[in-house]
């Protein structure tokens, strides 16, 4: 047993977001003692969430600024597209955005809680279309873990037999919320084009679980949820793990290196105490990295030794490679017939109640589509809380301008494509040996280039998004764009994964299917780094599910109850 500050433990977990939170929960429940190191500050959503605060109470009516990139009330602490004093660099010609939060719970405090699961073909992309790489897992193996994870974190949705988003086991999902007017209109219109809409899967409770209450149909989930309805580790996994007495969390602890002993095993880590800038070295029998895909890769690449001159557990050279994000492109318009419509409360669960899953597997398989991987549409509109942009596009002045704003309220509509990219050799991160952050830690340099696959996909999405808006009787207001113009920057959708992918072959992958690194047996990766592909299904449910599965495996190893 190692010890820190009077606490005895065997496992160090780096990061307290989706991956780290789940690992800590499973391990502490199984009786393992865990020391969790989190770079950000302590954060208490029960105290700090601005649940009902209105825009007029916030500076600048709550709009986004360079300090709070997603608006004043967004839960992100000490982060955003930039973290002061902790830069990253990009290669020439690369456009890549990296969203970070420095807080207990990481980005789970404010994520959108959209949690669709992968289907069988998502695990076998190469077998399907000859591109990318197959996972060392299949749906048969992961499916029951999805059920268990969804049940634990609480996911609302419904089993409708859709091929893109498989049904969960009976009794797993909580009831979905009734669709709103603009959602029903979209459903009716899309149906005419042969496109289905199905209930959204979201980690938002519609039924209470223990002390976590059911969503009360108000307030934005991006601010965090002080009643625990929207899943975040700080109101669930972390307090549960704390309750076992087997967890100690150290915040303001920025891990900078994983140490290797003479036997080639991880012996512990060194972190910078952000409060006094001192280095602290702690021992461990097992080290779990879950600092988010790019931070985990950075930490490994920065942990050099004689045995691993290019970074710990990097004999394959794959650490930092195969970086993937979701594709994204948005199209907006308005629906004239929805102007002046009867008012009612459209807050609901804050996000989509229904959405458009990928619908054209046939076209993908028979080659009528130019691209091989699917996407889904999230969309929005409705009677939201008025913001400073509410009069954009209005002309004139006086009563008529005021009337125009009132009349148009609730008639805007946008669609957000979120799609799968195929891994490619131009998308990766590495250490920039010329730049260090304020803690003296070398920073990441990103390389990024979309392939024609993604560009064709975005073009298709903008075409079909336009068709859907028009079928709703709407007018598209975004300019017509090619796929290349419409596709957003790498990293911008904040679903980065793949930097220490799992596999069956130590030569082409960093970990086995348990997230255990091939090279260093007591070093595990339990965040999105282990993804082999990045299906269009928002990644966090799968991060949580794999962490649950792999931490369970590790707990069995630790308890010696594995044959």
Partner 1 sequence: MSNNYQSKISRRDGIKWLGSLASVVVIGGVTVACDGPAPEAIPVDPSSHWPDLKFEPITGPKYGQDPKVAEPTRPWSLTFTSAQRNLVAQLCDILCPADEGGPSANDVGVPEVVDEWISAPYSSQQQDRVLILNGLQWLDDEANRRFGRAFLAASNDEQIAILDDIAFKAQASKPEFIHAVQFFDKLRTLVLGGYFTSPEGVEDIGYMGNVPIMGDYPGPTEEAMAHLEEVITNLPA
Task: From the list ligand SF4, partner 1, ligand FAD, none, pick the one residue 507 interacts with, judged by a Cβ distance below 5 to 8 Å according to partner type.
Answer: none
Task: From the list ligand SF4, ligand FAD, partner 1, none, pick the one residue 147 interacts with, judged by a Cβ distance below 5 to 8 Å according to partner type.
Answer: none
Q: Contact 269/305 with Cβ under 8 angstroms? A: no
The token duo for 286 is 């097992």
Rg (CA), the chain: 23
Q: Contact 172/155 with Cβ under 8 angstroms? A: yes
According to CB under 6 A, which residues from 111 to 130 bind ligand FAD?
111-115
The answer to whether 510 contacts ligand FAD (rule: CB under 6 A) is no
Among residues 389 and 440, whose Cβ is nearest to partner 1? 389
Give how many residues touch partner 1 by CB under 8 A. 125
Neighbour count for residue 54 (Cβ, 10 Å): 12
- The three-class DSSP label of residue 100 is strand
Residue 32 CB-density burial (10 A; 0-12 exposed, 13-18 middle, 19+ buried): buried
Q: Residues in the chain, how many?
A: 563
Residues 43-62: x/- map of binding to partner 1 (CB under 8 A)? Answer: ----xxxx-xxxxxxxxxx-
Q: Contact 474/334 with Cβ under 8 angstroms? A: yes
The answer to whether 528 contacts ligand FAD (rule: CB under 6 A) is yes
Residue 107 CB-density burial (10 A; 0-12 exposed, 13-18 middle, 19+ buried): buried
Among residues 271 and 334, whose Cβ is nearest to partner 1? 334
Among residues 282 and 350, whose Cβ is nearest to ligand SF4? 350
The token duo for 24 is 């800590």
Query: Which residue bears the tokens 């433990």?
Result: 9
The answer to whether 337 contacts partner 1 (rule: CB under 8 A) is yes
Among residues 190 and 237, whose Cβ is nearest to ligand FAD? 237
Instruction: Please pick, from the candidates 122, 283, 378, 527, the single residue that binds partner 1 as defined by CB under 8 A.
Output: 378
The answer to whether 23 contacts ligand SF4 (rule: CB under 6 A) is no
Q: Contact 432/89 with Cβ under 8 angstroms? A: yes
**Half-sphere CA count of 155, side-chain side, radius 13 A:** 32
Part in contact with partner 1 (CB under 8 A); list of ranges 176-184, 288-296, 314-322, 512-520: 176-184
Among residues 40 and 503, whose Cβ is nearest to ligand FAD? 40
The answer to whether 414 contacts partner 1 (rule: CB under 8 A) is yes
Query: Which residue bears the tokens 């649940």?
Result: 51
Neighbour count for residue 104 (Cβ, 10 Å): 27
- The three-class DSSP label of residue 269 is strand
The answer to whether 99 contacts ligand FAD (rule: CB under 6 A) is yes
According to CB under 8 A, which residues from 338 to 377 bind partner 1?
338, 341-353
Neighbour count for residue 298 (Cβ, 10 Å): 26
Return the exposure string of 523-557: e unless at least 16 CB atoms fall within 10 Å of the residue's CB, then b. Answer: bbbbbbbbbbbbbbbbbbbbbbbbbbbbbbbbbee
The answer to whether 108 contacts ligand FAD (rule: CB under 6 A) is yes
Instruction: Please pick, from the candidates 20, 45, 179, 410, the single residue that binds ligand FAD as defined by CB under 6 A.
Output: 20
Residue 234 CB-density burial (10 A; 0-12 exposed, 13-18 middle, 19+ buried): buried
Among residues 33 and 102, whose Cβ is nearest to partner 1? 102
Smallest gap from residue 352 Cβ to ligand SF4 (A)? 12
Neighbour count for residue 151 (Cβ, 10 Å): 16
Give how many residues touch ligand SF4 by CB under 6 A. 12
The answer to whether 26 contacts ligand SF4 (rule: CB under 6 A) is no
The answer to whether 158 contacts partner 1 (rule: CB under 8 A) is no
The answer to whether 388 contacts partner 1 (rule: CB under 8 A) is yes
- Measured CA to CA, the distance from residue 308 to residue 79 in angstroms comes to 31
The answer to whether 16 contacts ligand FAD (rule: CB under 6 A) is yes
What is the strand order of the sheet 412-419 is part of? 375-381, 412-419, 327-334, 475-476
Angle at 115 between CA 110 and CA 121, to 5 degrees: 145
The token duo for 4 is 């820190």
Task: From the list partner 1, ligand SF4, ligand FAD, none, pick the one residue 55 interacts with, judged by a Cβ distance below 5 to 8 Å according to partner type.
Answer: partner 1
- Measured CA to CA, the distance from residue 49 to residue 429 in angstroms comes to 34
Among residues 25 and 113, whose Cβ is nearest to partner 1? 113
Instruction: Please pick, from the candidates 221, 354, 523, 554, the single residue that binds ligand SF4 as defined by CB under 6 A.
Output: 221
According to CB under 6 A, which residues from 349 to 408 bind ligand SF4?
349-350
The answer to whether 464 contacts partner 1 (rule: CB under 8 A) is no
Residues 210-249: x/- map of binding to partner 1 (CB under 8 A)? Answer: ------xxxxxxxx--------------------------
Instruction: Please pick, from the candidates 90, 219, 302, 316, the single residue that binds ligand SF4 as defined by CB under 6 A.
Output: 219
Smallest gap from residue 443 Cβ to ligand FAD (A)? 12
- List contacts with ligand SF4 (CB under 6 A): 204, 215-216, 218-219, 221, 225, 227, 229-230, 349-350
Catalog residues that contact ligand FAD under the rule CB under 6 A.
Answer: 14-20, 37-40, 70, 99, 101-102, 106-108, 110-115, 253-255, 290-292, 295, 299, 494-495, 527-528, 538-540, 543
């Amino acid at each position: 047993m190692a010890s820190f500050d009077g606490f005895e433990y065997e496992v160090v977990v780096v990061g307290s977001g989706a991956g780290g939170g789940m690992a800590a929960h499973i391990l502490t429940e199984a009786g393992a003692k865990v020391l969790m190191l989190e770079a950000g500050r302590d954060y208490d959503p029960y105290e700090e969430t601005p649940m009902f605060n209105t825009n007029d109470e916030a500076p600048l009516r709550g709009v986004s600024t360079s300090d709070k990139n997603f608006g004043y009330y967004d839960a992100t602490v000490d982060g955003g597209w930039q973290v002061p004093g902790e830069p990253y660099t990009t290669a020439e010609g690369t456009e890549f955005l990296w969203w970070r939060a420095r807080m207990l719970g990481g980005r789970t405090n404010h994520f959108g809680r959209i949690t669709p699961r992968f289907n069988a073909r998502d695990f076998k992309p190469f077998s399907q279309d000859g591109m990318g790489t197959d996972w060392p897992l299949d749906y048969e193996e992961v499916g029951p873990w999805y059920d268990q994870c969804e049940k634990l974190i609480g996911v609302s949705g419904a089993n409708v037999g859709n091929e893109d988003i498989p049904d969960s086991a009976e009794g797993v999902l909580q009831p979905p919320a009734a669709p709103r007017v603009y959602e029903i209109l979209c459903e009716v219109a899309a149906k005419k084009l042969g496109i289905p809409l199905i209930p959204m899967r979201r980690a938002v409770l519609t039924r209470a679980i223990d002390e976590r209450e059911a969503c009360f149909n108000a307030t934005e989930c991006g601010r965090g949820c002080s009643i625990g309805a929207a899943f975040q580790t700080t109101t669930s996994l972390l307090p549960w793990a704390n309750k076992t007495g087997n967890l100690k969390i150290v915040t303001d602890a920025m891990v900078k290196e994983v140490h290797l002993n003479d036997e080639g095993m991880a012996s512990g880590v060194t972190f910078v105490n952000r409060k006094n800038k001192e280095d602290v070295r702690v021992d461990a029998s097992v080290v779990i990295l879950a600092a988010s895909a790019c931070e985990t890769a950075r930490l490994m690449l920065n942990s050099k030794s004689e045995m691993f001159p290019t970074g710990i557990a990097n004999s394959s050279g794959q650490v930092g490679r195969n970086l993937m994000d979701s594709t994204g492109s948005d199209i907006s318009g308005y629906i004239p017939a929805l102007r002046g419509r009867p008012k009612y409360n459209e807050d609901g669960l804050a996000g989509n109640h229904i959405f458009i899953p990928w619908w054209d597997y046939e076209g993908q398989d028979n080659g009528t589509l130019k691209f091989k991987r699917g996407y889904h549409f999230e969309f929005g509109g409705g009677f939201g809380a008025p913001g400073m942009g509410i009069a954009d596009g209005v002309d004139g002045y006086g009563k008529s301008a005021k009337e125009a704003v009132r009349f148009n309220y609730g008639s805007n509509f946008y669609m957000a494509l979120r799609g799968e990219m195929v891994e490619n050799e131009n998308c990766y991160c590495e250490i920039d040996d010329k730049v260090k952050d304020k803690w003296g830690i070398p920073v990441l340099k990103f390389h990024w280039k979309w392939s024609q696959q993604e560009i064709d996909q975005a073009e298709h999405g903008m075409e079909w998004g336009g068709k859907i808006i028009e079928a709703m009787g709407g007018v598209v207001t975004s300019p017509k764009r090619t796929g290349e113009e419409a596709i957003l920057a790498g990293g911008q959708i904040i679903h980065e994964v793949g930097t220490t992918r799992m596999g069956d072959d130590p030569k082409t992958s960093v970990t086995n299917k348990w997230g255990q690194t091939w090279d260093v047996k007591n070093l595990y990766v339990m965040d999105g780094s282990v993804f082999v592909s990045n299906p269009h299904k928002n990644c966090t449910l799968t991060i949580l599910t794999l962490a649950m599965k792999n931490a369970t495996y590790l707990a069995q190893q630790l308890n010696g109850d594995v044959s």
